[in-house]
Structures are given as structure tokens and as C-alpha cells.
Amino acid sequence: MARSALHSVGIVHAVRTFKRRTCRILVYHRFPKDRSHLIAQCEHIRRHYQPVSMRQVAEALGSRAPLPHNAIAITVDDGFRDFLLHAHPVLSNYEIPATVFVVTDFIDRCSWPWFSQIEYMIERISARSLQFLGREFAIGGDRMRAAVKVTEALKRLPNFARIGQLEVLRRLLGVELPECPPPEYEPLNWDDVRALAAEGVEFGAHTRTHPVLSSLSDRAELHQEIAGSKQRLDEQLGYPTLHFCYPFGTWSDFNDQTVAIIRRTGFATAVTAESGFNNARTDPFRLRRLGVTPTLPERRFIELLAGVRKY
């Protein structure tokens, strides 16, 4: 009843109007074949917001050009190919610009994201192994929840230790990991990236291998993850990459040293996964975003974008 009242008496509209001078940055990750939910979200965005690119956001933060009221930018993390197959056609049809943050070693097929490897393994383990994980991580039999819990646990380890524990987990669960990403985890390739860029999609760096940057004690390794990913993107696109995305992106996942390297490397913005809106005073290297999925319930999506709720 309370939720219905939010919409029926105009509270959502009032909050949206109150926050009209802020900029919302949405973050998506994966896109299902069924486009109907994303189409509904795009229709809502077009009805109530002004889509802008991350380049426009950067220019506004540099005080060169103010953003329109109720500005909204779309970002997509990691670089899975389902963006090209299922999201880009919809966004393009609604003339909504997008910025895709790619893990460059993933695009190069040198590796695939370690959190995706965890998800892949847990999807294939026996019920007995899932029960074991349930006891270890205080979870039930939900495989997706198990994958999230295991990922969160390994995130807290130093990078070298996490890589070792991932191999221990693989042996413990008895799942063979393919060297290249399987079809359900297929990344974009560089031809895809260039073709999308030619159609107006912006690209940003999301490191080389998606580590927790604050866990990297080796300054050379930290620099290579950030500057190396930018260099690879710049080479493939033929022009400088302006935007960076912190892997995982909570305040604890990066630090002042990380931000300093990103500034010196030549980026104009960096986005986090911390929930919230941005205004003219927001640090361009600590931009907040709103986490969404194409299948988010309609009212929750509407409330999140308006500012009625934070998550």
C-alpha cells in the first residue's frame, strides 16, 4: 500500500523534480535474450530523463557545459558480448548513449574474469559440494548466492593469495575450467569494440584482469593494471580513452594511491559502484552509480532512478 501511494499521489515525481539538477549514472553488467524489460526501462528513461554520454558528464564536471535537468548516463561493466547482441540494438533504437568499461585481458582472450569462473564452477558442482560450500560460507542451497558469497570472501585476500585460492577451490570442487571463456561468458572482441565505437558507443578501461586494486601492494602491478588497460584500449580505438571504472568499486576496493595513478594516466573520470547521484561538486574520480539489471522490478527501477530509494 505504501509503495502504491508513492506512485499514485505523485511522491516519485516530486522527488525526481527535487533531484533534477543531479546526474544519475546507471551500471548494468549482463543482458538476457529477452529484451522486453530493457525496452520498458528505456521507454521510462526517455519519458522522464535526458540521456547523456560520459563525455558530456566529464565536460560538465570540468565546468565547460552544464548538463540538462534529470541527466542520466548508461554504463556497462566488464565487456561481455551480450551487450552487443541484446542491449545495443535497444539502446540505439531509443538513442540512448552508453559507455562500456572493458577488462582488456578478457577482450584479448588472455583470461576471463575470476568471479565468472567462480560462478561457472558453482553452477556445475554436485548438490553435495554445494552443501559443503553452504556450511563453509553460512549460506543455503542458492547457487547464485553461493557464488556471490565466495567472491566476496576471496575479494578480501591479497591478489596473489586470491589467485592461489581460486585454484584450491577448483580442485576442491572438482570442476575443470576451460582456458577460454565458454559461450555464456563470451566477451566482445576488438572488431566488435571498433564497430560499436563507430556507432557512438564510448569505451572505458576496467583494468586488465579485474583485481581489487586496493589489494595490490606492488606499485608496478597497480600501474600496469590501470595504465596497461588504457594503453591497450587506446591502441585498438586509435584515440585516448577518457573513462575508468574501479573493479567492484566500493570505497574499500580502491584508495588515494589508485586515484592518483588514474589522474596521472590521463583519464577524465572514474566511476565507482557506490550508490548515489552526482552534482557539479562531485569528484570526477569518485562518481557514484546506481546498480540496475534489465529484469529489475519496474517500480523498483522507477523509484531508484527518481531517488526515492538508494538500492
Residue 64 has pLDDT above 80, yes or no: no
Contact at 8 Å (CB) between 93 and 161?
A: no
How many other C-beta atoms lie within 10 A of the C-beta of residue 58? 18
Q: What crossing angle do the helices spanning 298-306 and 36-48 adopt, rounded to 10°?
A: 30
Cα distance between residue 79 and residue 88, in whole Å: 12
What are 209-266's pLDDT values in tens digits? 999 999 998 899 999 999 999 999 999 999 999 999 999 999 999 999 999 999 999 9
Give the residue from 201, 177, 174 showing the smallest Cα distance to 73: 201
Strand, helix or coil for residue 203? strand
Residue 139 has pLDDT above 80, yes or no: no
Q: Who wins on pLDDT, 139 or 62?
A: 62
Q: Per DSSP, which regions of the chain are E strands? A: 23-28, 50-51, 71-78, 98-102, 202-205, 243-245, 269-271, 290-291
Q: Which residues contact 195 (CB under 8 A, 6 or more apart)?
A: none
Residue 155 has pLDDT above 70, yes or no: yes
pLDDT, position 1:
62
pLDDT, position 249:
97
Residue 304 has pLDDT above 70, yes or no: yes
Q: What crossing angle do the helices spanning 190-198 and 219-237 adopt, rounded to 10°?
A: 60
C-alpha dist (Å) from residue 83 to 74, 177, 202, 273, 308: 12, 24, 13, 19, 28
Burial class, 288, CB count within 10 angstroms (exposed 0-12 / middle 13-18 / buried 19+): buried
pLDDT, position 163:
85
Cα distance between residue 250 and residue 219, in whole Å: 20
Strand, helix or coil for residue 75? strand
CATH class of domain segment(s) 2-110+182-306: alpha beta
pLDDT, position 130:
74
Cα distance between residue 31 and residue 211, in whole Å: 23
**Among 33-47, 79-93, 175-189, where is mean pLDDT lowest?**
175-189
CA 60 to chain centre: 22
Whose grid coordinates read 586494486? Answer: 213
Phi, psi torsion values for 77, nearest 5 degrees? -100, 150
Instruction: Parse the chain into domains and list their residue ranges.
Output: 2-110+182-306, 114-173
Strand, helix or coil for residue 180? coil
**Among 126-135, 186-195, 239-248, where is mean pLDDT lowest?**
126-135
Cα distance between residue 274 and residue 241, in whole Å: 22
Strand, helix or coil for residue 154? helix
pLDDT, position 158:
86
Q: Per DSSP, which regions of 86-133 are E strands? A: 98-102
How many other C-beta atoms lie within 10 A of the C-beta of residue 217? 10
Mean pLDDT in residue range 22-51:
98
